[in-house]
């Protein structure tokens, strides 16, 4: 990209305030934490419901950026940089991208639909890449912000584009249409995702179709409901397995490991083999097939390429590695755009200062190799990577573009040398194109444990955090509770993500939890809810902040503060307003005030209380009385001690039910992890944790035989039984056994047979096509933790925090 600031001012209709508008910019950024080449970057200060990038501009100027698109010049920044002032910075970003797109004239495929967008995009890229230099959306960048950023990635060498567009409500698609301006439209499966954003399915389909307003052709599966809504001005190329009047009629024949599609169209018939059996993959494959037909590919080429379609893995996974390393597994793609995203993730999740990147040859950037690898080199320097291991013939030739770099011709050569490379105490990004089979590297470096894993979706955590943030006043601070190992999900990784999102405080139950976070490099302030007096010294040593809930505790802490000669050490005063667990009661307040008066050893950083029934409508009056008492007691402290503490009382359900009690901060817990007490609110949260295992063994037993301890299940008919290696020692309640609960195997429910054992459980797979080694979902989307809690007479909190530490945690980001 090379766009002059002059031109940008014109395109955005911006008012310019600054000293020079002579420069040319070659990059766009929206995030102060992931800047690449600062001096020639145009920074758009986006304003979200709870995050305003204007407040980071000072930092961004310090990092060397000189050009900003803003709605106003933040105080203190006048004269320090150049500003393009607009009414709305998101609209400006979209206008900028639309203008940039208009400078290019090549075929562009625009993909939308409820499911399958990313897979269709990746597959189209795969089948078309031998003929074209393709620019495509990285990962699933398909939103109002993601689409402009994707399109801005186009450069002069590209001659084909593939972009996906996702919407959640009306009036969004026309904006994306203007940016993508697809010449070829692909509509994938329409499901129920985002239904809540639309008045009806019809409205949703109409909105999606707006992406194709100016396309030369729309490729879609024929369907009466959709046909009725397609404007007559749009030319179509349709397929179907049921409507014989579609342009392409497809019949499927499933074999053991592939499906033969018989394709019938006006020009004749042929067959292709697809290496998938499931319905969704076949639909996505047929969408790709129609694109190839539309682009006049010959049958032989179509057959060869479609037979090579592969499972698409779009996630960046964070895993524990050998020798105290952690691994970011991105072993499925290597293009420049997604490298940027992966390096960002590496920075946000690094466990140790040492960062290593293992990188294969990079494909399809559209740039000449010398320029490409020089840019990659710059990216590596900007991200302060300690060492680079290049694998592949091309990257080996450009070894001199990297500092501290060694290279190998291929993956096998690298694996043969693995032992000499001394991977230890570092965070590794493993990023390679599919053909390099970097999954072998991941397998070699991954810590080995058993096959049950708890997968944690970091995007979902970010989503849930933003959902609750959007319920707060802009000035309300947020403490996030990461006690009990992040409600069972993970300590450091989640804390790191929260730090990235700039929450204000973390809360833990005990000092040792806080110490391990601090030792792992977390810099956010951490409040310890239940500090034992024996841990006070350690608390001070690690700069943790104790909650003080009794005079005894206060006096003990003051004594230690005296010994350490502390001055104004932050403490948090807990008031008991009705929970009757910990805290000062009304009758102790005078003595508390007396003890704190004139004391310079400590400073009351915050005053808090905790609600007992914020989730229960029937106890609303009690909750309100707690808030009233909190108001009274905290006001007394503030008045008589003449202090300005942060006040906070609300937990997750308090945030939802008592907005009047937000005070200066709230304490978010269970909601972050995707669980709400409210059915309606639950719909807006995303599932965070999925407990996965595999089938160890399958057998068929005759009628009359029993399964498990105590013979509590006796088969009435021949029954196929699968054994799963997870039991009550891993946190699966015994109440879930004996026909109460189920697991999900290939999207179908398999009911638990007999009692849950310590390390195993058995399920009924009589009606489910499956084999040993197949994946099993113990909880996640189905069953949900909520459902499990209900049927086992407990609460989601207990289920999440009971998953044993022997279950490996794997974190991923989409
Ligand atoms: C655990 C806890 C929270 C968070 O509660 P959730 O119901 O999970 O939101 C808040 N405050 C205190 C004092 C807690 O112990």
* pLDDT tens-digit readout, 477-510: 999 999 999 999 988 999 999 998 999 999 999 9
- Please indicate, yes or no, if residue 311 is contained in any of the structural domains: no
- CATH code at 290? 3.40.1190.10
Residues with Cβ < 8 Å from 680, sequence gap 6 or more?
Answer: none
- Ligand 1 neighbourhood includes 461 CB (under 6 angstroms): no
Domain stops at, among 44, 62, 90: 90
As a whole number of Å, the CA-based R_g of the chain is 29
Does the pLDDT at position 735 exceed 90? yes
Q: Which of 240-246's residues contact partners 24+ apart within 8 Å by CB, and which partners? A: 246/221, 246/222
Does the pLDDT at position 282 exceed 70? yes
Q: Return the pLDDT at 185.
A: 97
- Please indicate, yes or no, if residue 453 is contained in any of the structural domains: no
Distance (Å) from CA 102 to ligand 1 centroid: 51
Handedness of CA 433, 438, 442, 445 (dihedral sign): negative
Q: What is the distance between the alpha carbons of residues 362 and 369, in angstroms, rounded to a whole number?
A: 9
Instruction: For a ligand 1 pocket test, name from 667, 668, 672 the mutation site with the most ligand atoms within 8 angstroms of its C-beta.
Output: 667
Q: Return the pLDDT at 433.
A: 87
Residues 792 and 672 in one domain: no
pLDDT range class, residue 449, cuts 50, 70, 90: low
Residues 655 and 702 in one domain: no
Residues 398 and 529 in one domain: no
pLDDT range class, residue 450, cuts 50, 70, 90: low
- Ligand 1 neighbourhood includes 665 CB (under 6 angstroms): no
Query: CA dist 7 to 20, 79, 152, 176, Å?
Result: 13, 21, 15, 22
Distance (Å) from CA 597 to ligand 1 centroid: 29
Instruction: For a ligand 1 pocket test, name from 477, 479, 481 the mutation site with the most ligand atoms within 8 angstroms of its C-beta.
Output: 481
Does the pLDDT at position 138 exceed 90? no
The structure tokens 């097939």 sit at 289
Report the chain's mean pLDDT, rounded to a whole number.
93
Residues 140 and 243 in one domain: yes
Distance (Å) from CA 659 to ligand 1 centroid: 16
Does the pLDDT at position 21 exceed 90? no
With b for 16 or more beta-carbon neighbours within 10 A and e for fewer, the 551-587 pattern comes to eebbebbbebbeeeebeebbbbbbbbbbeeebbbeee
The H or E element spanning position 812 is strand 808-813
Residue 197 vs residue 124, higher pLDDT: 124
Q: Which atom of ligand 1 is the closest one to the Cα of 487?
A: 8
Residues 152 and 266 in one domain: yes
Active site residue 555: no
Report, as an integer, the average pLDDT of 594-607: 96
Active site residue 709: yes
Residues 290 and 396 in one domain: no
Does the pLDDT at position 193 exceed 70? no
Residues 508 and 544 in one domain: yes
Residues 391 and 536 in one domain: no
Please, what is the Cα angle at 169 between 166 and 174, to 5 degrees?
65
Question: Dihedral, CA atoms, 70, 73, 78, 82, nearest 10 degrees?
Answer: 10
Q: Return the pLDDT at 364.
A: 64
- Ligand 1 neighbourhood includes 508 CB (under 6 angstroms): no
Domain stops at, among 422, 447, 472: 447
pLDDT range class, residue 279, cuts 50, 70, 90: confident
Closest residue by CA, ligand 1 atom 10: 651
The H or E element spanning position 607 is strand 602-609
Closest residue by CA, ligand 1 atom 4: 669
- CATH code at 762? 2.40.37.10
Instruction: For a ligand 1 pocket test, name from 507, 510, 665 the mutation site with the most ligand atoms within 8 angstroms of its C-beta.
Output: 507
Strand order of the β-sheet with 67-70 is 15-17, 82-85, 67-70, 41-44, 27-29
Q: What is the distance between the alpha carbons of residues 405 and 474, in angstroms, rounded to a whole number?
A: 46
Q: Return the pLDDT at 313.
A: 76
Q: Which alpha helices (DSSP H) does 307-438 contain, by range?
A: 336-349, 369-382, 393-397, 411-417
Whether cis (ω within 30° of 0) applies to the bond prior to 296 is: no
Q: Return the pLDDT at 1.
A: 86
Domain stops at, among 244, 276, 306: 306
> Are the C-beta atoms of residues 663 and 649 closer than 8 Å to each other?
yes
Residue 364 vs residue 460, higher pLDDT: 460
pLDDT range class, residue 305, cuts 50, 70, 90: very high
Mean pLDDT is lowest, of 284-288, 389-393, 721-725, 805-809, for: 805-809
Of the residues 267, 310, 620, 709, which is catalytic?
Answer: 709
- Please indicate, yes or no, if residue 455 is contained in any of the structural domains: no
Q: Which atom of ligand 1 is the closest one to the Cα of 547?
A: 13
Does the pLDDT at position 618 exceed 80? yes
- 229-244 tens-digit pLDDT: 999 999 999 999 999 9
Report, as an integer, the average pLDDT of 668-689: 95
- Please indicate, yes or no, if residue 74 is contained in any of the structural domains: yes
Q: Return the pLDDT at 630.
A: 98
Distance (Å) from CA 668 to ligand 1 centroid: 7
Report, as an integer, the average pLDDT of 101-123: 95
Residue 267 vs residue 671, higher pLDDT: 671
Distance (Å) from CA 669 to ligand 1 centroid: 5
Q: Return the pLDDT at 348.
A: 82
Residues 515 and 562 in one domain: yes
Confirm or deny that 581 is annotated as ligand binding.
Answer: yes
- Please indicate, yes or no, if residue 144 is contained in any of the structural domains: yes
Please, what is the Cα angle at 87 between 86 and 88, to 5 degrees?
95
- Please indicate, yes or no, if residue 452 is contained in any of the structural domains: no
Distance (Å) from CA 520 to ligand 1 centroid: 23
- CATH code at 435? 3.90.190.20
In 113-169 the beta strands, taken as DSSP E runs, fall at 134-136, 160-164
Q: Return the pLDDT at 745.
A: 96
Of the residues 483, 496, 574, 605, which is catalytic?
Answer: 483
Say how many CA atoms lie within 13 Å of 108 toward its Cβ.
Answer: 28
- 331-386 tens-digit pLDDT: 877 888 788 888 988 888 887 789 999 999 997 667 789 989 998 999 999 889 99
**Structural domains of the chain, count:** 5
Percent of the chain topping pLDDT 90: 79
Q: Give me the phi and psi of 302, to 5 degrees please.
A: -60, -45
Confirm or deny that 758 is annotated as ligand binding.
Answer: yes
- Ligand 1 neighbourhood includes 529 CB (under 6 angstroms): yes
- Please indicate, yes or no, if residue 672 is contained in any of the structural domains: yes
- Please indicate, yes or no, if residue 115 is contained in any of the structural domains: yes
Domain of 655, in residue numbers: 461-682
The H or E element spanning position 92 is helix 89-102
Residues 74 and 222 in one domain: no
- Global pTM reads 0.77
> Are the C-beta atoms of residues 583 and 609 closer than 8 Å to each other?
yes
Residues 86 and 132 in one domain: no
- CATH code at 589? 3.20.20.10
Residues 336 and 440 in one domain: yes
Query: CA dist 99 to 102, 176, 357, 607, 668, Å?
Result: 5, 13, 35, 52, 42
Q: What is the distance between the alpha carbons of residues 399 and 228, in angstroms, rounded to a whole number?
A: 57
């Amino acid at each position: 990209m090379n766009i002059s600031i002059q031109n940008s001012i014109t395109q955005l209709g911006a008012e310019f305030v600054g000293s020079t508008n002579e420069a040319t910019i070659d990059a766009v950024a929206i995030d102060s934490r992931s800047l690449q080449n600062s001096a020639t970057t145009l920074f758009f200060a986006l304003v979200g419901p709870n995050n305003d990038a204007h407040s980071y501009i000072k930092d961004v100027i310090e990092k060397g950026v000189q050009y900003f698109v803003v709605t106003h010049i933040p105080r203190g920044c006048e004269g320090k940089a150049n500003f393009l002032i607009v009414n709305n910075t998101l609209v400006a970003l979209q206008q900028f991208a639309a203008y940039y797109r208009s400078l290019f004239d090549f075929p562009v495929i625009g993909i939308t639909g409820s499911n399958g967008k990313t897979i269709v995009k990746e597959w189209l890229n795969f089948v078309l890449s031998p003929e074209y230099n393709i620019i495509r959306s990285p990962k699933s960048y398909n939103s109002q912000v993601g689409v402009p950023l994707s399109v801005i990635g186009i450069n002069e060498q590209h001659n084909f584009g593939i972009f996906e567009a996702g919407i959640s409500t009306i009036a969004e698609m026309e904006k994306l249409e203007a940016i993508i301006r697809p010449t070829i439209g692909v509509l994938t499966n329409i499901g129920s995702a985002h239904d809540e954003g639309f008045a009806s399915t019809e409205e949703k389909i109409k909105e999606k179709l707006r992406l194709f307003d100016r396309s030369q052709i729309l490729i879609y599966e024929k369907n009466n409901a959709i046909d009725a809504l397609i404007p007559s001005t749009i030319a179509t190329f349709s397929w179907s397995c049921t409507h014989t009047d579609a342009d392409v009629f497809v019949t499927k024949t499933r074999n053991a490991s592939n499906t033969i599609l018989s394709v019938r169209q006006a020009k004749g018939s042929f067959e292709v083999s697809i290496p998938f059996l499931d319905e969704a993959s076949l639909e996505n494959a047929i969408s790709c097939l129609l694109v190839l037909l539309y682009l006049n590919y010959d049958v032989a080429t179509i057959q060869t390429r479609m037979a090579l379609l592969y499972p698409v893995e779009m996630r960046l996974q964070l895993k524990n590695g050998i020798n105290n390393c952690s691994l970011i597994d991105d072993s499925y793609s290597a293009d420049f755009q997604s490298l940027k995203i992966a390096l960002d993730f590496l920075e946000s999740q690094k466990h140790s200062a040492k960062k290593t990147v293992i990188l294969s040859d990079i494909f399809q950037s559209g740039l000449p190799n010398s320029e490409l690898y020089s840019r990659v080199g710059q990216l590596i320097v900007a991200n302060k990577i300690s060492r680079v291991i290049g694998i592949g013939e091309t990257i080996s030739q450009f070894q001199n573009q990297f500092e501290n770099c060694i290279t190998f011709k291929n993956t096998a050569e690298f694996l043969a040398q693995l032992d000499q490379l001394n991977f230890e105490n570092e965070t590794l990004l493993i990023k390679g194109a599919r053909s390099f089979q970097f999954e072998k590297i991941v397998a070699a470096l991954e810590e080995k444990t058993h096959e049950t894993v708890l997968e944690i979706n970091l995007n979902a955590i970010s989503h849930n955090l933003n959902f609750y943030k959007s319920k707060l006043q802009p000035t309300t601070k947020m403490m996030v509770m990461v006690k009990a190992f992040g409600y069972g999900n993970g300590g450091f990784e989640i804390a790191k993500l929260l730090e990235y999102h700039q929450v204000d405080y973390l809360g833990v139950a005990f000092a040792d939890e806080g110490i391990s976070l601090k030792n792992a490099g977390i810099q956010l302030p951490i409040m310890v809810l239940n500090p034992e007096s024996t841990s006070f010294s350690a608390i001070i040593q690690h700069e943790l902040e104790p909650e003080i809930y009794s005079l005894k505790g206060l006096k003990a802490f003051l004594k230690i503060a005296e010994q350490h000669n502390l001055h104004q050490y932050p403490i948090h005063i807990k008031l008991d307003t009705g929970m009757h667990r910990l805290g000062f009661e009304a009758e102790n307040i005078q003595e508390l005030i007396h003890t704190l008066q004139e004391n310079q050893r400590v400073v009351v950083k915050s005053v808090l209380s905790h609600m007992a029934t914020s989730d229960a409508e029937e106890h609303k009056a009690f909750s309100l009385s707690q808030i009233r008492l909190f108001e009274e007691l905290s006001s007394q402290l503030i008045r008589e001690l003449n202090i300005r503490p942060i006040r906070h009382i609300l937990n997750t359900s308090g945030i939802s039910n008592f907005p009047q009690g937000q005070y200066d901060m709230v304490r978010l817990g269970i909601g972050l992890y995707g669980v709400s007490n409210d059915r309606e609110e639950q719909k807006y949260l995303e599932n965070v944790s999925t407990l996965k295992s595999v089938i160890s063994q399958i057998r068929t037993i005759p009628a009359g035989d029993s399964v498990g301890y105590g013979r509590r299940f006796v088969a009435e008919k021949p029954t196929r039984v699968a054994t799963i290696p997870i039991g009550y020692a891993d946190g699966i309640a015994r109440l879930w056994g004996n026909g109460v609960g189920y697991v999900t195997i290939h999207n179908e429910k398999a009911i638990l047979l007999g009692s849950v054992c310590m390390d195993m459980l058995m399920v009924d797979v009589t009606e489910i096509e499956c084999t040993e080694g197949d994946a099993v979902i113990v909880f996640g989307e189905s069953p949900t933790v909520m459902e499990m809690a209900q049927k086992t007479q407990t609460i989601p909190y207990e289920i999440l925090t009971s998953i044993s530490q022997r279950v490996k945690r794997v974190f991923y980001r989409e």
